[in-house]
Amino acid sequence: MERLDFIHERELPFHVFAFHRLRRAAHGMCASLMDEDALLDRVLRREATSAVPRFRIPVAYALSGLGRCLDLSLSAGAVPCVLRPIVRFNDWVDRIDSWFLGFGDWTGICVPAWEDSIVREARALLNADFRFTETENYRLYRRRMETGRPVVRRGQRLDTVARMNVYFTDFVALFHSIRTYGVLSHDATGPGPPAFRPQRDIGVAVDADGTLCKLPGGQHRFGIARALGIPFPAQLRMVHRARLAALMEKTGSSPVGAVLGEIERLNAATPPSSPVP
């Protein structure tokens, strides 16, 4: 199986970054063409058996065709891995969260969830009873600020003490909201502050062996859910082509039927939550 590697976003040439943004917008405009299961079935079957493996089928098409059928409710420990956002295969570079059908060996683009920097921040905040200036993360980020190598969080460089304090203050506020109301779905109604309702649920992918991996986005909600040991709403946004082919062969289902069966399995297999590292 082809091994994939990751590259940091700062290494991505601007023209590649701009192309990805334009392509994602185009995918969104064309997504309504895939609102019929039969058409999505044909595309999935064709791409899952393609002789040229690549990330295939824009995720916007799958969301248009299957919508809320892709929704999951997962326990804190059900997602043991986090996928890097930008991957490289030979000379080909792409954002992993643009596609619904995955390929290749994910070993080089996947890290254990407990090693993720935001997950570590959430655990440290909870252990320090939210006194963020006492955490090792805060001290590290301050040293990096003072040496001209500021950490970037939520698209902003933490290059002043004021920006660091705002970042951690917002993190603590989100922590308290989730502790009170849980991790809100993007279309949640009822109690809960609107400011903490996300634009979309946490995205997850299924690897070739059925392991769940977190896709980019929603890192803070994911880290807090792990620290508190509470379930969170998620959405299946990628299936490895080998996993899809195996499910189709095992069940005799159509591609869409195999995806829906996998979602049913994941929802049924979710164990009770408890705090995880």
Please give the single-letter amino acid code of residue 45.
R
Confidence of residue 122 (pLDDT cuts 50, 70, 90): very high
Q: Answer whether residue 15 is part of any domain.
A: yes
Please give the single-letter amino acid code of residue 260.
L
Q: Answer whether residue 165 is part of any domain.
A: no
Is the distance from CB of 82 to CB of 205 less than 8 angstroms?
Answer: no
Burial code of 12-43, b = ≥16 C-beta within 10 A, e = fewer?
beeeeeeebeeeeeebeeebeebeebeebbeb
Work out the average pLDDT over 221-235. 94
Q: Is 191 helix (H, G, I), strand (E, B) or coil?
A: coil
Q: Answer whether residue 118 is part of any domain.
A: no
Q: Tell me: pLDDT of 237 over 60.
A: yes
Q: Tell me: pLDDT of 208 over 60.
A: yes
- Record the tokens describing residue 195, joined without a space: 């400011």
Q: Answer whether residue 81 is part of any domain.
A: yes
Distance in angstroms (rounded) separating the CA atoms of residues 255 and 259: 6
Q: Answer whether residue 169 is part of any domain.
A: no
Q: DSSP characters for 136-187? A: HHHHHHHHHHHTT---EETTEE--SHHHHHHHHHHHHHHHHHHHHH-SPPTT
Distance in angstroms (rounded) separating the CA atoms of residues 114 and 135: 17
- The residue range of the domain holding 214 is 5-111+199-218+231-269
Q: Is 76 helix (H, G, I), strand (E, B) or coil?
A: coil
Mean pLDDT of the chain: 88
pLDDT in tens, 172-199: 999 999 999 999 887 765 555 555 666 6
Q: Answer whether residue 254 is part of any domain.
A: yes
Distance in angstroms (rounded) separating the CA atoms of residues 231 and 136: 27
Confidence of residue 8 (pLDDT cuts 50, 70, 90): confident
Q: Answer whether residue 176 is part of any domain.
A: no
Residue in the structure block whose two tokens are 């295939």: 56
Lowest mean pLDDT among 57-61, 67-71, 271-275: 271-275
Q: Answer whether residue 27 is part of any domain.
A: yes
> What total of structural domains would you count in the chain?
1
- Record the tokens describing residue 79, joined without a space: 């997602």
- What is the side-by-side order of every strand in the sheet holding 5-6? 5-6, 86-89, 92-95
Distance in angstroms (rounded) separating the CA atoms of residues 87 and 247: 25
